[in-house]
Amino acid sequence: MTKPEILGSLRSSYTRVVRMVCEEKGIDYVLTETLLGAPELRRIHPFGKMPVLRDGDFELCESKAIATYLDRRFPGPRLIPDDPHRAALTEQWVSLVNTIMDATLVRTYLFAYAVPKTADGQPDQKAIEVVTPAVRTQLAILDQAVAATGHLVGDQFTLADINLMPILYYVKQLPEGAATIAPETHLGRYYARHAARASFVRTMPPAGPPRRAAG
Whether residue 195 is found in the same domain as residue 142: yes
Identify the pLDDT of residue 57: 96
Residue 205 in contact with residue 161, Cβ under 8 Å?
Answer: no
Whether residue 125 is found in the same domain as residue 52: no
Whether residue 89 is found in the same domain as residue 149: yes
| 3 state SS of 57 | coil
Whether residue 69 is found in the same domain as residue 90: no
Q: Is residue 210 part of a domain?
A: no
Question: Count of CB atoms within 10 A of residue 32's CB?
Answer: 14
Whether residue 105 is found in the same domain as residue 170: yes
Which of these, 66, 59, 141, lies nearest to 101 by C-alpha position?
141
Q: Distance between CA 33 and CA 37 in Å, rounded? A: 12
Identify the pLDDT of residue 41: 96
Residue 154 in contact with residue 111, Cβ under 8 Å?
Answer: no
Domain hosting residue 111, numbered range: 84-201
Last residue within a domain, chosen from 52, 73, 94: 73
Identify the pLDDT of residue 111: 94
Mean per-residue pLDDT for 146-170? 98
Q: Is residue 78 part of a domain?
A: no
The CATH number of the domain holding residue 192 is: 1.20.1050.10
Identify the pLDDT of residue 211: 55
Whether residue 33 is found in the same domain as residue 123: no
Whether residue 88 is found in the same domain as residue 190: yes
Mean per-residue pLDDT for 71-86? 97
Last residue within a domain, chosen from 73, 92, 117: 73
CA distances from 52 to 42, 58, 145, 197 (A): 9, 11, 30, 24
Whether the ω angle into residue 51 lies within 30 degrees of 0, i.e. cis, is: yes
Is the pLDDT confidence value at 113 over 60?
yes
| Element of type H or E holding 130 | helix 125-145
Identify the pLDDT of residue 2: 85
Whether residue 106 is found in the same domain as residue 174: yes
Q: Over pLDDT 70: what percentage of the chain?
A: 96
Whether residue 186 is found in the same domain as residue 89: yes
Identify the pLDDT of residue 63: 98
pTM of the model: 0.94
Number of structural domains in the chain: 2
Identify the pLDDT of residue 1: 67
Last residue within a domain, chosen from 22, 51, 73: 73
Q: Is residue 213 part of a domain?
A: no
Is the pLDDT confidence value at 14 over 60?
yes
Identify the pLDDT of residue 86: 98
Mean per-residue pLDDT for 131-157? 98
Q: Is residue 50 part of a domain?
A: yes
Is the pLDDT confidence value at 209 over 90?
no
Mean per-residue pLDDT for 15-26? 98
Whether residue 122 is found in the same domain as residue 162: yes
Identify the pLDDT of residue 115: 87
pLDDT tens digits, residue range 51-65?
A: 999 999 999 999 999
